[in-house]
């Protein structure tokens, strides 16, 4: 039996997979609030005990860099070690991979389920071309896949932590604003769930629009301001000009960085948008703003017009990828 996991700062999703049945039909699965537990070991013990099952091997996608079998979860005080997990849990074989690497493992199989994808740009995919994955969720993850002549192989990256490069005058002003509030202005600090409030604060403090009293009250009472800002940007009955502008700027920056990834990887096989935010803001991504920012690369613009762009709709894609990774080892 394989224990597969998607380990994030917000939630930990675990499943027991039978090799005979496959990862799309787990024998048992459950989701846990990561912050309620001191370690991954504690979560796994509770899960396996409740399911009354044992695992012979484990594969975990982790929201953070994995180096020499050890990972520190970004935005969560957990340190995860393959050897320690194997010893503490009695699982002979344990492997860690970056969560975006896990998503990348699943990408070549998503075409089997049309409901798993929404296409923003059909483009002209090159068979065997490199594929890029960018995923704004709590943070911003990036990964890529290369073709070895027989199959695609996934590679991890920490591209979400690279320096933010503004592409417009408004983005230059945003960068100057964040210089006064952050020690390092990376794409993750802007283009993610933790970044959306930074964009909102910039627009509010710069006087772009007034903050309605009802919105100020909702934001002050919230532990996570991002869902409130996004909802107020999309809800036609309770729409905020300030929140709309926040989402517009977010979409432009996401498009620009997705285009950057496509150029760096020469992603002629396509760009896939993962994470929890893109499916939530599909109406905004379908507009011209995202594609214009993606393709606005000067002399390379014509190249990017041909790059396919898809939004991953399957919320369990990271767990699915971790399972495929474990079954292939």
pLDDT of residue 13: 96
> Which pLDDT belongs to residue 104?
96
CATH number of this structure's domain 114-313, picked from the four choices 3.40.50.300, 2.40.110.10, 1.10.3730.10, 3.40.367.20: 3.40.367.20
Residue that has been written with the tokens 């071309």 in this structure: 129
pLDDT tens, residue by residue, 31-87: 999 999 999 999 999 999 988 888 999 999 998 889 999 998 877 889 899 999 999
pLDDT score recorded for residue 58: 97
C-beta separation of 60 from 5 below 8 A: yes
> Which CATH code, of 2.30.31.70, 3.30.420.40, 3.90.1150.110, 3.40.309.10, is assigned to 2-104+316-328?
3.30.420.40
What is the rounded average pLDDT of the residues 253-274? 98
- Dist CA 324 CA 129 (whole Å): 21
- What percent helix, strand, coil does the chain show, rounded to 5? 45, 20, 35
Contact 74, 9 (CB under 8 A): yes
Do 255 and 290 contact (CB within 8 A), yes or no? yes
For residue 151, the tally of other CB atoms under 10 A from its CB is 9
What is the rounded CA–CA span in Å between residue 329 and residue 96?
A: 12
Domain ranges of the chain: 2-104+316-328, 114-313
Indicate if the pLDDT at residue 124 is higher than 80. yes
Q: How far apart are CA 240 and CA 24, in angstroms?
A: 40
Write down the residue that tokens 């729409």 correspond to: 239
Which has more pLDDT, 269 or 238? 269
Provide the token pair at 284.
């905004």
114-313 has the same fold as 2-104+316-328? no
Number of helices (H), then strands (E), in the chain: 13, 14
DSSP assignment of 140-185, as one string?
EEEEEEEE-SSSEEEEEE-GGGSBP---SHHHHHHHHHHHTT-S--
Q: Is the pLDDT of residue 112 over 90?
A: no
């Amino acid at each position: 039996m394989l224990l597969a996991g998607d380990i994030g700062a917000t939630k930990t999703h675990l499943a027991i997979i039978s090799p005979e049945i496959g990862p799309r039909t787990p024998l048992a699965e459950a989701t846990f609030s990561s912050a309620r537990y001191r370690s991954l070991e504690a979560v796994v013990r509770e899960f396996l005990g409740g399911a009354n099952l044992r695992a012979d091997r484990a594969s975990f996608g982790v929201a953070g860099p994995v180096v020499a079998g050890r990972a520190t979860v970004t935005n969560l005080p957990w340190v995860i070690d393959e050897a320690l997990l194997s010893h503490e849990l009695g699982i002979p074989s344990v492997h860690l991979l970056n969560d975006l690497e896990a998503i990348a493992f699943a990408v070549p199989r998503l075409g089997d389920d049309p409901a798993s994808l929404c296409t923003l740009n059909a483009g002209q995919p090159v068979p065997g071309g490199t594929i890029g994955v960018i995923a704004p969720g709590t943070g911003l993850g990036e990964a890529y896949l290369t073709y070895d002549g027989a199959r695609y192989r996934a590679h991890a990256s920490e591209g979400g932590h690279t320096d933010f490069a503004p592409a417009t005058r408004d983005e230059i002003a945003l960068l100057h604003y964040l210089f006064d509030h952050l020690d390092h202005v990376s794409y993750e600090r802007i283009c993610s769930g933790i970044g959306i409030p930074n964009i909102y604060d910039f627009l509010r403090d710069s006087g772009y629009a007034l903050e309605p009293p009802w919105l100020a009250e909702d934001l002050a009472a919230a532990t996570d301001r991002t869902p409130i800002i996004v909802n107020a940007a999309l809800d036609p009955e309770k729409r905020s000009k300030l929140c709309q502008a926040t989402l517009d700027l977010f979409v432009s920056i996401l498009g620009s960085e997705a285009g950057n990834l496509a150029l760096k990887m020469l992603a002629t096989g396509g760009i896939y948008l993962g994470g929890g935010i893109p499916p939530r803001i599909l109406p905004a991504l379908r507009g011209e703003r995202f594609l214009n920012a993606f393709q606005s690369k000067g002399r390379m613009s014509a190249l990017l017009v041909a790059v396919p762009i898809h939004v991953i709709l399957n919320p369990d894609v990271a767990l699915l990828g971790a399972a495929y990774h474990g079954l292939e080892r």
